[in-house]
Every structure is written in structure tokens, then in C-alpha cells.
């Protein structure tokens, strides 16, 4: 088989949750560039419309839907609608997520539960909804967007770290339970990525910017383009015997203790 055909996603329907912008948009665009038909959702009509405009500008014929991924009934409806509009979902990217940066002793339990609901329960709900179609069609790919906080703790992110650690184990359990159906479930753990949300932290001289550069062997922030290749790999036939793995795209942070004094 030619190497290029391993990464050919022609005919595959890919659902990217929270795919209107940022990491989700970048991954969806990469999958589309390799032939996938992209469908995405977001929480509001405004975000979906902005996403559709961005995809059109990039020459991508994407399908956009308003859906709250924490609502199981709504997610079942979303999957059914995509099946009617495009076909069976062969690739799922569980990208939608939130973070609340609050010291643990100041965080309300309701806010903790909200982060768990969006970042952990929702991937369970969406995966549960697409798995029957994948089984019936002979296989599929699920990519969960994990985090370095799937491995590390840090101040003010107790809920996020708990959710992303749980998502790592959900990834492994889906692989264990459904690998027999030719379904591969893996995760991508982004490092610190250049997005509009991190722009203030990346200002020259900002203490957090210096901190990240010093902790990253690549000596830079990642870009959303750095996630494209890993996503295509995990969505394609090239990864057919890779299952239950978390691929950290972090410039080497997790391998590095830092410069010696």
C-alpha cells in the first residue's frame, strides 16, 4: 500500500465537537485536507455560524450543528441528523471542553461538576452515541483531546486535571471494550498551544511565557498546525494497530525536568 494512501480519509465522516475555532477547527481542517467530510457542533448558533464562515473561507464544505454535548438526548439527535445528512460517523474527535482556573478551596462544587460534565461525561455521551454505527460499519476512530493535565497537576486546575485524567482512562477503556470491533480509541494531549486565548500569556517578558519556554525542550509554544499530523495519523489507517494510547504533542515538556541550575 502506498504510504500516502494510509492517510487518505476520502469517504470518512468526521465529527469534531466544539469545532468552530481553535484546536477543534485546526484538527477538522487537517482531516478535511485528507478527504474527510467534516461535521462539527458548538454550544450556540453564533459560534456555529462563525465556524461555518471560517470553513467556507478555507474552501471546506463543513456541516455545522448547535448541540450541547452534555445533553444525551440532544447528542443522540445530533448523531442521527449527521447520519441523515452525510452518512455514518467514522471518526469522532471529542474536542469540546472548558476550564475554570480557581484555587481548589475557593471552587464551588457546582463549578467542579460542570467541568467534569463537559470535559469527561460529554466524551462518554458522544462516544456512546457513535459506537453503534461504527460497530455496524466495521470499525471507526475515536480521538479524545486530553491534556498534559492527564499526567500532571498544577495550581488552580483541580477540576480540569481530574477530568482530563479521567478522559485518559476512558480512552483506554473504550479501546479495551471495543477494539474487537476494529475501533481504535486514542488521545491527543496538547502542550501549551498558541491560540487567541493564550495570546496575553505569550507577550514578550510575561512571566508565564518565560516559564513555558524554559520548560519546553523545543523552546517555543506549539501551534495548532502541530496537532494536524497527529490527528490525521490517529484518524487514518496508519494507526489501525494503535489503541488506547495518548499521544502528547507538547514539545517534550513531559520528558523534561528543566535546566539544571
pLDDT value of position 3:
60
Residue 231 included in any domain? yes
pLDDT value of position 200:
87
Residue 14 included in any domain? yes
Residue 147: partners with Cβ closer than 8 Å, 6 or more residues away: 160, 161, 164, 189, 190
pLDDT value of position 260:
79
Q: Note if 25 is an active site residue.
A: no
pLDDT value of position 117:
98
> How do the pLDDT tens digits run along the chain, 261 residues long?
566 799 999 999 999 999 999 999 999 999 999 999 999 999 999 999 999 999 999 999 999 999 999 999 999 999 999 999 999 999 999 999 999 999 999 999 999 999 999 999 999 999 999 999 999 999 999 999 999 999 999 999 999 999 999 999 999 999 999 999 999 999 999 999 998 878 888 998 999 999 999 999 999 999 999 999 999 999 999 999 999 999 999 999 999 998 877
pLDDT value of position 245:
98
- CATH code for the domain in which residue 42 is found: 3.40.50.720
Residue 222 included in any domain? no
Q: Classify residue 109 by burial, with Cβ atoms within 10 Å: 0-12, 13-18, 19+.
A: exposed
Strands (E), 35-112: 37-42, 63-66, 89-94
Residue 206 included in any domain? no
Burial 25-56 (b: 16+ CB within 10 A, else e): bbbbbbbbebebbbbbbbbeeebbebbbebbe
Domain count, the chain: 1
Residue 218 included in any domain? no
pLDDT value of position 180:
98
Domain that holds residue 124: 3-193+227-255
What does the chain come to in residues? Answer: 261
Residue 221 included in any domain? no
Q: How far apart are CA 171 and CA 67, in angstroms?
A: 22
Residue 209 included in any domain? no
A 10 A CB-CB count for 116 gives: 17
Instruction: Show the cell assigned to 181.
Output: 470491533
Determine which one of 25, 55, 65, 160 is catalytic: 160
C-alpha torsion sign, points 173, 99, 224, 206: negative
pLDDT value of position 12:
98
Residue 49 included in any domain? yes
Cβ pair 75, 69 in contact under 8 A: yes
Q: How far apart are CA 152 and CA 60, in angstroms?
A: 36
Rounded to two decimals, what is the model's pTM? 0.97
Amino acid at each position: 500500500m502506498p504510504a500516502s494512501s494510509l492517510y487518505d480519509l476520502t469517504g470518512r465522516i468526521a465529527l469534531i465537537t466544539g469545532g468552530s475555532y481553535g484546536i477543534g477547527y485546526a484538527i477538522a481542517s487537517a482531516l478535511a485536507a485528507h478527504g474527510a467530510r467534516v461535521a462539527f457542533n458548538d454550544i450556540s448558533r453564533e459560534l456555529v455560524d462563525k465556524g461555518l464562515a471560517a470553513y467556507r473561507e478555507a474552501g471546506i464544505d463543513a456541516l455545522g450543528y448547535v448541540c450541547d454535548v452534555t445533553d444525551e438526548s440532544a447528542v443522540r439527535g445530533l448523531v442521527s441528523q449527521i447520519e441523515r445528512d452525510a452518512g455514518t460517523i467514522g471518526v469522532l474527535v471529542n474536542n469540546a471542553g472548558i476550564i475554570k482556573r480557581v484555587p481548589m478551596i475557593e471552587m464551588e462544587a457546582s463549578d467542579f461538576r460542570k467541568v467534569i460534565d463537559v470535559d469527561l461525561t460529554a466524551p462518554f455521551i458522544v462516544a456512546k452515541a457513535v459506537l453503534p454505527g461504527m460497530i455496524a460499519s466495521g470499525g471507526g476512530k475515536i480521538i479524545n483531546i486530553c491534556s498534559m493535565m492527564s499526567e500532571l497537576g498544577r495550581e488552580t486546575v483541580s477540576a480540569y486535571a481530574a477530568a482530563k485524567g479521567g478522559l485518559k482512562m476512558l480512552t483506554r477503556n473504550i479501546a479495551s471494550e471495543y477494539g474487537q470491533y476494529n475501533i481504535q480509541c486514542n488521545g491527543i494531549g496538547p502542550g501549551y498551544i498558541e491560540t487567541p486565548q493564550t495570546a496575553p500569556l505569550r507577550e514578550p517578558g510575561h512571566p508565564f511565557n518565560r516559564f513555558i519556554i524554559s520548560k519546553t525542550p523545543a523552546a517555543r509554544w506549539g501551534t495548532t498546525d502541530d496537532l494536524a499530523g497527529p490527528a490525521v495519523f490517529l484518524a487514518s489507517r496508519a494507526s489501525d494497530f494503535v489503541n488506547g494510547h495518548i499521544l502528547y504533542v507538547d514539545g517534550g515538556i513531559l520528558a523534561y525536568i528543566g535546566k539544571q541550575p
